[in-house]
Structure 1
Amino acid sequence: MSALTHELPPAAINAKLIALITSGAVFLGIFLSGFVIDEPAPYDLYLAGLIVTWALFGLRISRPVTPLLTLLVLFNIGGMLAMTQMADLAQTPLYLAVSLFLALSAVFSALIIEARPDFYRLIFVAYVASAVMTALLGIAGYFNMFPGSDIFTRYDRATGAFQDPNVFGPFLALPGIYLLYLLLTGPARRIPLLALPLLIICGGIFFSFSRGAWGLFAVSAVLLAGLLFLQSRSGRFRLRIIVMAIVAIALILIAMIAVLQIPGVADMLSTRAKLEQDYDAARMGRFARYSIGFMLALEHPLGIGPLVFGKIYGEDTHDIWLKTLMDYGWLGFVSYLALTCWTLAAGFRLLLRNRPWQPYVLCAYIVYVGHIALGTIIDTDHWRHFYLLLGLIWGGIALEYRYQRGG
């Protein structure tokens, strides 16, 4: 009697193999986003190749993602027009090439999520893995744990595999908020598994000594807890949030007391915790440059060209709105403003809807709102994870559009 065999048809095997390869490719791309020491970064080169490859094999622009693409293209056209105002182009073409790539990366993220909603979980898992790794590098560098580890610090602050601690800290916010979401909503048995990576990420945020990152994570955590509290009608779940919030505050206080015993930490913390630094209010400090820049924008509607402002005044704009006016002109400013308003309005409608992708959109939206606020005191233009946040939210917008039409 012959044994019965149940073999999958070749088409099914090929489909599973393709799905595995594409998942691995996306995972690697997101993981590389945590390692941006120079431009172009490995993330840029890898993802550019991935976008081209995916486009050749059938990736198409969908109707709900078209506004994202249109506004980002207009934004970059503004940068190209601003470049015409420059006498010396220097590194400007490369800068604008990176800007255009990052715009396409946001569109790409939205499109692949629309095509395969299961990519949401994959992207978040890859992001957490990347964040834990780069946070460990930052912490190791801060404490000089091995020879050469000082390359992961700058100005005596942890930077991980980034150029700037003020980018490194905010990069860690979304994976930290996602882990916090899982802690608040998941079974108690998973708490030990989630607590360790969350602790590492929080350590990276703290030792970056970035005021923006501290505020971003704290406000995002409060918003997350508040929205979950409002969303749930279960008294037991609401009590769980309150209890965990109290426990978290107690643990933070204990951790702060312990960390302040480390030499140098207390001095750095007292310096960085000041709301206003010396370079903010100086005669040509950050705040003074804001008024100078906005007056300059009235005289130069096309902008003055990417990176020119910093060469003239010795420091960059440190404000995304002023940055868009100077580097991308009024066209770029209006496009960026329209994109921000559209993203906030369309994303807000998804927050409390019961969808499989709702948790991911919720976490991304909260952190995105924090980045918009953060952009008023720092330039977020070339932050890779900011464009990923855009893609995550617009992926949800596209999925909701398809859901409403029964697709």
Structure 2
Amino acid sequence: MSAVTVNGLPRSLVQAKSASLIGSAAVALGVFLLGFVIREPAPYEVYMVGLIAVWSLFGLRLSLHAVVLLALLVAFNIGGLLSMTTMGDLYETPLFLAASLFLAFTAVFFVAILEADHNRYRLIFMSWIAAALVTGSLGIGGYFGVIPGAEMFTRYDRAMGAFQDPNVFGPFLALPAVYLLYRILTGNPLRMPFYAGAFVVIVAAIFLSFSRGAWGLFAASSVLLTGSLFIQSTSSLFRLRLILMALLASVLLVTAIVVVMQLPGVSDLLTTRARLVQDYDAGHLGRFARFGIGLQMAIENPMGIGPLNFGRNLGEDTHNVWLSSLMNYSWLGFISFVTLVVWTVAGGFRILFRDRPWQPYLLCTYIVFLGHIALGTVIDMDHWRHFYVLIGLIWGAMALESRHQRGLAAQKST
């Protein structure tokens, strides 16, 4: 067989390029499937299991960062196995822990493929935006009853798109919304209509999810993004543009909300959902009371009480990712999770403002990740698929920076 193609290019180079394109397309499809979790196992799980297996057979390389992340996540799941030993009846616990371990592998997978090619950041973000637009449109259409089977895409008169819970649907949309806001604030004005149109659709879906957590996540992330860009830039002209574009985005957003609130039922539901404390938050066994009960149980049971047993015993889950780690994954899992979060926050912040091709993606991801950590104080998210992708995106940037520094060191030595 000839070593060159008919175009005169080395055959090995053409094959490598073809493999890279196929791999990138496969990743794009996987990220797109994140937006569709109507049934479990979701298409994302089935697809990603196959993708990770095939990629591993054909040369998935794990750097030190990927290995460290894998070790932390495996320790987290070992804590779950220890907690499972305290249970008399296992229920569906083995499947629950298998899902936890699978999600851990997805985070490590994204680190590995991003370190291999940083251009995949853009691909991942574009796929996430596409998924957000489709599932967000389903949620909006379902809320207003303008599409067939509208009831599939709503729950409790709240939009949930192709998800099972509005409180997961809303946070899933945060990253694409924040990235589109970044493009509105910094991008080419000629592309503004596309960015603004997609932004309005996704933010409308977040609003109609009536998830207080999603509202707070998006609002806080938007403020942090604008502040970060303002601090990062030394250009007075850019700062002026930033202020003007932020005002324009705010006016656009407020106008859209005002229009939506004129629709029947929206204003009443908004008033109800906007209350800081809901009926299920207060009371003897309300959300906040369960925090204290769970902490006492964790002190008395360092091995945990078994995955999901807290909800079985008290009628409701912990609704707190820290408490969930203690109850479901023992103190070992809790320590592993805290270490993971601290490492991710510290490692990401250290490289957050360095001028790199992937810096815009890291900035948006990092801000949304911080919001998810804050959100975790009032909701369980240790099984949110997109949360593990956020972790992979940040650790991927950390791995890329490490490789970049090694390259600089090699250049200096020569």
| TM-score normalised to structure 2 length | 0.96
> Who is 2:181 aligned against?
180
> Who is 1:276 aligned against?
277
Q: Separation in 1 of the partners of 2:291 and 2:207?
A: 28
Q: Separation in 2 of the partners of 1:23 and 1:65?
A: 19
Is this contact kept in 1: 2:204–2:256, CA < 8 A?
Answer: no
> Who is 1:9 aligned against?
10
Q: Separation in 1 of the partners of 2:210 and 2:390?
A: 23
C-alpha deviation, 1:65, in angstroms: 2.2
Is this contact kept in 1: 2:184–2:245, CA < 8 A?
Answer: no
Name whichever of 329-338 and 139-148 sits farther off: 139-148
Q: What aligned pairs does 1:222-301 form with structure 2 within 5 A after superposition?
A: 222-301=223-302
Is this contact kept in 2: 1:34–1:134, CA < 8 A?
Answer: yes
C-alpha deviation, 1:256, in angstroms: 2.4
Q: What aligned pairs does 1:5-404 form with structure 2 within 5 A after superposition?
A: 6-404=7-405
| TM-score normalised to structure 1 length | 0.97
CA offsets 1:361-401 (integer angstroms, 9 cap, x no match): 11100000000000000111110110000000000000011
Q: Separation in 1 of the partners of 2:145 and 2:8?
A: 55
Q: Separation in 1 of the partners of 2:295 and 2:375?
A: 18
Secondary structure, in 3 states, of the residue corresponding to 2:316?
coil
Q: Separation in 1 of the partners of 2:258 and 2:54?
A: 51
C-alpha deviation, 1:223, in angstroms: 0.4
Q: Percent identity?
A: 61
Is this contact kept in 1: 2:185–2:246, CA < 8 A?
Answer: no
Secondary structure, in 3 states, of the residue corresponding to 2:352?
coil
CA offsets 1:121-162 (integer angstroms, 9 cap, x no match): 111111110111100010011011123111000111000111
Q: Separation in 1 of the partners of 2:371 and 2:386?
A: 13
Q: Unmatched 5+ residue regions in structure 2?
A: 1-5, 409-414
CA offsets 1:266-307 (integer angstroms, 9 cap, x no match): 000000001110110111100111100000001111111111
> Who is 2:411 aligned against?
none
CA offsets 1:164-186 (integer angstroms, 9 cap, x no match): 00000000000111111111111
Q: Separation in 1 of the partners of 2:404 and 2:254?
A: 45
Cα RMSD, aligned residues only: 1.1
Q: Separation in 1 of the partners of 2:404 and 2:364?
A: 20
CA offsets 1:297-318 (integer angstroms, 9 cap, x no match): 0111111111111111110000
Secondary structure, in 3 states, of the residue corresponding to 2:101?
helix
Partner amino acid, structure 2, of 1:253:
V
Partner amino acid, structure 1, of 2:79:
G
Name whichever of 63-72 and 133-142 sits farther off: 63-72
Partner amino acid, structure 2, of 1:195:
A
The runs of at least 4 consecutive aligned structure 1 residues that moved more than 3 Å come to none
Q: Separation in 2 of the partners of 1:6 and 1:322?
A: 61
Secondary structure, in 3 states, of the residue corresponding to 2:125?
helix
Q: Separation in 1 of the partners of 2:67 and 2:17?
A: 30
Q: Unmatched 5+ residue regions in structure 1?
A: none
Q: Separation in 2 of the partners of 1:368 and 1:69?
A: 18
Is this contact kept in 2: 1:317–1:379, CA < 8 A?
Answer: yes
Q: Separation in 2 of the partners of 1:264 and 1:6?
A: 64
